[in-house]
Structure 1
Amino acid sequence: MQPRPEIKGWCPGAFAPMPSGDGLLIRAKAVGSRMSAAQAREIARIADNCGNGLIDLSQRAQLQLRGISEATIAEALRGLEAIGMLAPSADAERVTNIIASPLAGLSSGVFDANAMAVELAAELQRDAALRALPPKFLFLLDDGGALSLADVEADIRIEAIAKGDVAIRIAGVSNRAVVVATDDALDDALRFARAFVELRDRHANSFRRVRTLVEALGADALPRAAGLDMRVSKEARAPARWAHIFGAQRRGAVAYAGVGAPFGRWRADELAAIADLAQSGGTGELRLTPWRALLIVTPDEDNARRVVSRAQDHDLITSADDKRLAVIACPGAPECPQAVAETRAHVIDLAPLAQKIGGADGVGLHLSGCAKGCARQSASPITLLACAEGFDLIENAGADGAPSFRSLTFEAVMRELSARAGGRAQ
């Protein structure tokens, strides 16, 4: 029987550090997808001087610094404040959760998602009523340009659609949206947010996210409370694919080098090296993504190729064909106190098989240290859930799914994956 994991209901922050097995976990607060080379270099310095030199790029396109201690956290916060990556207060940090299009303001988007993110953050921090939003409540701004965010789940989405209008969607309702002019998008999105707070308050704060409210009260409850009309508007955007993210790329007038670290885990020296490459071979700007990748914006494709070549010296991911992309793994034990066992000891051995059984997004295997499945909320062809005796194997579901096999040894896992990949275990 798997132990029941603790659901904390909040993400680590600078003002709300999360204890973990390797110290405190804090998050540099980026508003939007843009980060300068100088900011990246300073984050690397803070990670080295104040933590254990490890930095995670989260699914929310935020950088998390690991191993911070009580003795160094004040210095870490001063460093983040100096580069503009510290929220004004704990209240502001808690409610400012926004993902914006990675190439916002550069590609052919209908609106500048980064500029809108700044406006949205200011309003979230100004309005006292919105401080009651749950700490994981997430806004998403998709400008309709290159690199769609269609595969990223959020509570409230502002998405560009045809003819320059935008659709405002809520989690749990995929076939309807409020369609408005771009200038009205933030006002209506915030009406949804305020209505969510009111409904949540009426129901004793029992809803953690919009999806749970919709499941409990129906698809019409939130728009009715917000005084907004939703009309049929099916999602048409395809999600971004690995092939469009990694390596030297051009999207319209924008050239960039897409570089990732295995499982989103960067060492401080790797991030510092990428920051230097962004300065010397790029425009001095990086873009954060929710796909374990940083985009180094470059003047042209030749410079992008040079950045990719230098990144390969650090064994970073620079190609959609990299087998390590087929595996998603949480930190596991001992870093995460929720994890039953370690998760990353055998991932390099499992990656070739995972690639062969990969789903539509290329991911074939999810290794989770506990049933929360923090690293991947959606289903995977195979999910391995750590247990005291090995791994439970779950098929075509998430970490909370029903196992097909329990307590498999690593050798047994290799045999099961090999059978599904059409080969034999090595």
Structure 2
Amino acid sequence: MTVPQIKGYCPGALRPMQSGDGIVVRIRPFNGRLRRAQADGIATLAAAHGNGMIDLSSRGNLQIRGVTEATYPALIEGLRRMGLLDPDEAIESRRNIIVTPFWQTGGETEALAPALTEAISAADAPAIPGKFGFAIDTGRQPVLQTASADIRLERDAGGGLILVADGSDKGKAVSIETIIDEAMALARWFMETRTDQNRMAALLRDGAALPADHFIPRQKQTHVPAPGYTPLGAMVGLAFGQLPVKTLASLAKQGGLRMTPWRMLLVESARELPGVDGIITDPNDPLLRVIACTGAPRCAQGQAKTRPLARTLALHLKDGAFLHVSGCAKGCAHPKPTHLTVTATPDGLNLIRDGRADDAPDRAGMTPEEIIKAL
């Protein structure tokens, strides 16, 4: 069996990653939002310096694919002029922040995102691991609890702000004035307490005890992300998080774009999206319940063309079931368990029920036709 190579870091713009279809350049939109001009500019740059395909990641970041060594400098200069780059690679690596897309103009969330960015960018900020991240989930109800994050800013049932370590069902009471400093203090606690753990939940699973002031019960998320209209604009889905440049440019004409970790975008103030190809607006579309990585040949470690397979399997998926199709055992697109996971190997497809891409398969070496029958 081929063992996938684990890079140990996520790509950035200043620290890109080589893949099967060229260099992958990841853009981390500041405060989880792109202005219309920025979104349109990214589409133009991706068309000129990449292969015309953009991915929306599970952390709400955009990845320009197919960049070459020759086109990379011009792409970076374009991103710099649009204000989409961090001052340096170290700050970029630390700035993993997911922001609820449902923030209101003038509200606390809008102020917290840049404040957290400033704190992470400070010279004395803790040197957290590259995949360690933050979630600003400070609406009335949590919506980001299924997204990958290690330190979470949430509200308790009474509306008070709490700071939560991922993996705990309780948080610490904080205020708008103290929450950023407390988040940095919790990050420092993680760095001082850990041994070889890179994620907060792993540290807590290994027995680390949080400070005694983490005792406020968390709310449980009931929000189910779906395409549709919201008071803030239109939520649209993207099959596998894939975004052709024409689709991004068309969406940019409709309004500013707020990122989500659900492979959806919130188009600000939009009430109609006429003629925008490449989006999902039907909340019952089965493609919304299918996750698939880039796969072969765009990923050098992919053992199969995952997305054509995922489109085929989606037609046979039972109501309510979620499917993850992974090109290798790394499971980059979805590291958590799923109802059904199909992992590509050199010897065929492995089917895993209620597990992750690297779990022991229920059945191994299957063909696509056998997978369809098993669904």
Corresponding position: 1:169 with 2:153: no
Q: Percent identity?
A: 37
Does structure 1 conserve the Cα–Cα contact (< 8 Å) formed by 2:108 and 2:176? no
Does structure 1 conserve the Cα–Cα contact (< 8 Å) formed by 2:142 and 2:219? no
Distance in 1 (alpha carbons) for counterparts of 2:71 and 2:350: 39
Aligned-partner residue type, residue 234 of structure 2? A
Does structure 2 conserve the Cα–Cα contact (< 8 Å) formed by 1:246 and 1:320? yes
Q: 1:261 aligns with which of 206, 213, 238?
A: 238
1:281 equivalent in structure 2: none
Which sections of structure 2, spanning at least 5 residues, go unmatched?
none
Distance in 2 (alpha carbons) for counterparts of 1:40 and 1:139: 23
Distance in 2 (alpha carbons) for counterparts of 1:182 and 1:129: 20
Aligned to 2:254, the other structure's residue is in SS state helix
2:227 equivalent in structure 1: 246
Distance in 1 (alpha carbons) for counterparts of 2:84 and 2:348: 40
Does structure 2 conserve the Cα–Cα contact (< 8 Å) formed by 1:37 and 1:286? yes
Does structure 2 conserve the Cα–Cα contact (< 8 Å) formed by 1:144 and 1:161? no
Q: How far apart are residue 186 of structure 1 and its match?
A: 1.1
Corresponding position: 1:126 with 2:122: yes
1:282 equivalent in structure 2: none
Aligned to 1:181, the other structure's residue is in SS state coil
Q: 2:217 aligns with which of 233, 254, 257?
A: 233
Aligned-partner residue type, residue 234 of structure 1? R
Corresponding position: 1:184 with 2:178: yes
Aligned-partner residue type, residue 365 of structure 1? L
Q: How far apart are residue 36 of structure 1 and its match?
A: 0.8
User: How many residues are matched?
Assistant: 375
Does structure 2 conserve the Cα–Cα contact (< 8 Å) formed by 1:34 and 1:114? no
More helix by share: 1
Distance in 2 (alpha carbons) for counterparts of 1:342 and 1:97: 29
**What TM-score do the two structures reach when normalised by structure 1?**
0.84
1:422 equivalent in structure 2: none
Q: How far apart are residue 271 of structure 1 and its match?
A: 0.5
Distance in 1 (alpha carbons) for counterparts of 2:115 and 2:329: 37
Distance in 2 (alpha carbons) for counterparts of 1:164 and 1:172: 21
1:372 equivalent in structure 2: 330
Distance in 1 (alpha carbons) for counterparts of 2:282 and 2:198: 37
Q: 1:389 aligns with which of 347, 351, 364?
A: 347
How far does the alpha carbon of each residue in 1:237-295 deviate from its partner, in whole angstroms, 9 at most, with x for none? 32x324xx313x13xxx2411122210011111100111122xxxxxx21111111111
Q: How far apart are residue 106 of structure 1 and its match?
A: 4.3
User: Higher relative CO (CA 8 A, sep ≥ 6), structure 1 or 2?
Assistant: 2
**What TM-score do the two structures reach when normalised by structure 2?**
0.95
Aligned to 1:411, the other structure's residue is in SS state helix
The two structures, once aligned, show a CA RMSD in angstroms of: 1.8
Distance in 1 (alpha carbons) for counterparts of 2:97 and 2:278: 30
Aligned-partner residue type, residue 358 of structure 1? G
Please list, as runs of the form range in 1=range in 2, the aligned pairs for 1:43-62 lying within 5 A after superposition. Answer: 43-62=42-61
How far does the alpha carbon of each residue in 1:270-322 deviate from its partner, in whole angstroms, 9 at most, with x for none? 100111122xxxxxx21111111111111xxxx51x22x432xx142112111
Aligned to 1:266, the other structure's residue is in SS state strand
Q: Structure 1's 315 and 19: CA in aligned 2 closer, same or farther, altered over 3 A?
A: closer
Q: How far apart are residue 386 of structure 1 and its match?
A: 0.3
Structure exhibiting the larger radius of gyration computed from Cα positions: 1
Distance in 1 (alpha carbons) for counterparts of 2:279 and 2:218: 37
1:424 equivalent in structure 2: none
Q: How far apart are residue 219 of structure 1 and its match?
A: 4.0
